[in-house]
Every structure is written in structure tokens, then in C-alpha cells.
Amino acid sequence: MIGMRASRMAACLLIALVGAASAKEPAKFVVHEWGTFSTFSGADGRYLKFYPNDGDLPQFVHNRHRNVKGGLPDSMVSLETPVLYFYSDRDRTASVQVDFPKGMMTDWYPQASRPPVQGLRWDNLKITAKNQTKLIEDKSTSRYFAARETDAAFVQATEQNKLETEKFLFYRGVADFAMPFTFRAHGGGRFTMRNDTKDAVPGFFFVRVQGTQVYFEAFGSLSPGAEMDIREPKSASTPEKLGDAMAKLLVAQGLYEKEARAMVKTWSKDWFGENGTRVLYLVPGTLPEQFLPLRVDPKPNELVRVLVGRHDLLTPEREKEVDALVNRLDGESNAVLKNADAQLNALGRYRWAAQTATKGRLTGDNAARPRR
């Protein structure tokens, strides 16, 4: 009898010890991020300032420039739509800080605890794995909403007695520094890309869009300090095939399938739909932490950061076309001027940068910066 009681007591003690050990084990906490660095250059590879996006977000997103006359300044780097996703097997509280040492934060959501300058901080962020709170909407067709199409947890921030809920943390910024990559266009469909970092570029795509035609080629790793010659593809493909290839590459870097698809959906209209020549590359190694240090407390069991560089560049042929259009701004008739102006406006946020990359010389009123 005594032996049976002793055995039961030992069993209960073992269960209690196992339970105590389990309680101390960290619950799974995963953080994934994706975003883009956009840059622009002339055919010679010299980085040029351009106007960053500032009108493509819902009105509820916080920013520091919407009511500033003239909007954002032209910049060499546009940090676009990084989003942080959280996955947790239980509700928890966390703090997040992301800094942009060489730049300035311009947009964010939910509201941050620290006033945005070169960084953002969210204190006491509530991560609710099972919360089904209705998210704020608006009547716009903004690219912003595609990022919600994942299985990530809801995040809630309370600042100034106002509760804001989202499926991710969103932020955006601008900066004036050149990314450590060189892209040159030599004419006749010939290009070179050089990796000036100490880490290999995991993969990249060369893309040219002309009307409804999409030409692209996928490339593998580019070693540190290496330069690669690229020939423009001759056969047209489709945005869908390019999107699938991009999503596959993003998943290979650690994103979940839905996250990769959300990123592709967010940027497909720009990456695969805007006329022009560009390179889409994975930002390698330690660069994200160097340019965009991130801290999450408590430290997640898994942290994945996948940032894509988008670099648009002019070809020598395109520079000549732009130069001719700039010279026509001094045309003898308003019809000639308006036609040239309309064609230059098709360059979108790169218009002024493209004009400064050419040999054209503006005079009189045409020397003023184009209206946005």
C-alpha cells in the first residue's frame, strides 16, 4: 500500500515537474518582413534623385508630409512598403523599433510611440493571434490592402487613447545614398550589373516592359565584387509568369507563400506594368541590418527579412528620346509643347530625373521643376 502511494506521489511529482518545465519553454514567436528599396539612374549608372510615391496610400495611414507644401523632397532612395508580420501561438505584448540611420521615415501605421524622424518605435504592441477585429477600410484601390492577404496575427497599438488594429506594421521612408550596386546600359540591349557589397546577391531579374509586352530573365547568385553582362531578352513573356517566378524566389528566401504572393500583388502593377527597363534584386546579407536596423522585444524564435531592390535605368536610346522631347518644350506651337510634355509625363516620378540625365538644356519657364 505504501509502495503504491509512493509510486502515485512520484508520478504526480513528475507531471508537475514536466508541466513547470513546459511553462518555461518559449512559445513560438515568428516575425517576417518584406519591403523594397527603389532607385533610378541614367545609362551611365549614376544614381539620380526622383520623386518618391506619396499619393498611393489610404488616408488613414499616418505621415509627416501630407500637409507640407510641395510634399516630399526628391530623393535617391525610396524605401517602400516594408511590412512586418507576426505569428504567435498565444496573445503577447511586444515592442518594435526600426531605424533608418541615413534616411527619414515618412509614413507608418498603426500609430507609433516615438515621433518619427530617423526611426519608429511601437511600445506595448498587442499581438492577438485569434482576434477577428474588423480592419479599417476606405474607398481607395490602394496597393496597401494586398499586404493583408496572409495568415499573420492582428497587431494593436494604442496611442493618445486611440486603438488602431492591422495585420502588420507598415512604414516607409526616403534617403539620399547610393545603394552598393552599379547598373549600366551600353545600348543595343547590352547591360552590366556589379555587386559592390561583401555578400552575394541571392538572385535577380532583368525586366523590360513595353506596352502590354513583358520581357524578363531570371539570374542566380551574383558574387561579392562580381560584374555580370546582361543581354536584353528577345522573347516576350507575361506578367503572370514573372510574378510566379518572383514569388518562388521570395519563398526560397524564407517568406511564407501567402506573404510572397501578397508582395507580388502589391507591386505587380509597378514592377511588371510600368513601361521601362529595371532590375529587381534581392538585397543581400547584412545590408538590411546596416541600412534598416530592426529590434523586436521579446526576441522572436524566427526573424526573416526579405527586401527587394528595384532599380530603373535609362538606356542610351531612351536618353536620346528624352533629350529630343525636352528640346521640343521650346516648340513653336503650343501643340508641339503639349505633346512633348505629355510624353515626358509618361515617365511618372522619374520625369525630372530623366531630364537631368540627358544633354537637353531647359530655358525660361521650362527650367522649372515639373509639377506633380
Residue 120 or residue 70, greater confidence: 120
CA distances from 296 to 79, 96, 123, 307 (A): 20, 5, 10, 18
Which tens digits make up the pLDDT trace of 154-204?
A: 999 998 889 999 999 999 999 999 999 999 999 999 999 999 999 999 999
Q: What is the pLDDT averaged over residues 301-328? A: 96
Residue 142 or residue 47, greater confidence: 47
Q: What is the pLDDT averaged over residues 314-341? A: 91
b/e per residue 244-262 (b: at least 16 CB within 10 A): ebbbebbbebebbeebbbb
Predicted pLDDT at 333: 84
**Confidence check: pLDDT of 12 > 70:** no
Q: Which amino acid is at 76?
A: M
Question: Running DSSP on this structure, what letter comes out for residue 62?
Answer: E
Q: Are 294 and 97 in contact (CB under 8 A)?
A: yes
Sign (positive or negative) of CA dihedral 346, 347, 348, 353: negative
> Where is mean pLDDT largest: 143-157, 330-344, 355-369?
143-157
Least confident of 8-22, 51-65, 89-103, 238-252: 8-22
Predicted pLDDT at 133: 75
Task: Tell me what the pLDDT averaged over the chain comes to.
Answer: 87
Which tens digits make up the pLDDT trace of 204-252?
A: 999 999 988 999 999 999 999 999 999 999 999 999 999 999 999 999 9
Q: Going edge to edge, which strands form the sheet with 213-219? A: 62-63, 103-109, 169-175, 77-88, 29-41, 302-313, 276-282, 204-210, 213-219
Q: How many Å apart are CA 308 and CA 250, to the nearest integer?
A: 9
Q: How many Å apart are CA 263 and CA 246, to the nearest integer?
A: 10
Q: What is the pLDDT averaged over residues 43-56? A: 91
**pLDDT tier, 16 (very low <50, low <70, confident <90, very high otherwise):** very low
Q: Are 65 and 72 in contact (CB under 8 A)?
A: yes
Predicted pLDDT at 366: 37
b/e per residue 163-173 (b: at least 16 CB within 10 A): ebbbbbbbbbb
Predicted pLDDT at 68: 61
Give the Cβ contact number of residue 371 at 10 Å: 5
Residue 99, beta-bridge partner list: 119
**Confidence check: pLDDT of 56 > 50:** yes
Category of 189 on φ-ψ map: left (φ > 0), alpha (ψ -120 to 50) or beta = left
Q: How many Å apart are CA 277 and CA 249, to the nearest integer?
A: 20
**Confidence check: pLDDT of 367 > 60:** no
CA distances from 159 to 107, 164, 340, 352 (A): 16, 8, 49, 39
Place of cell 505504501: 2
Question: What are the boundaries of each domain within the chain?
Answer: 26-313, 319-367
Q: Are 318 and 325 in contact (CB under 8 A)?
A: no
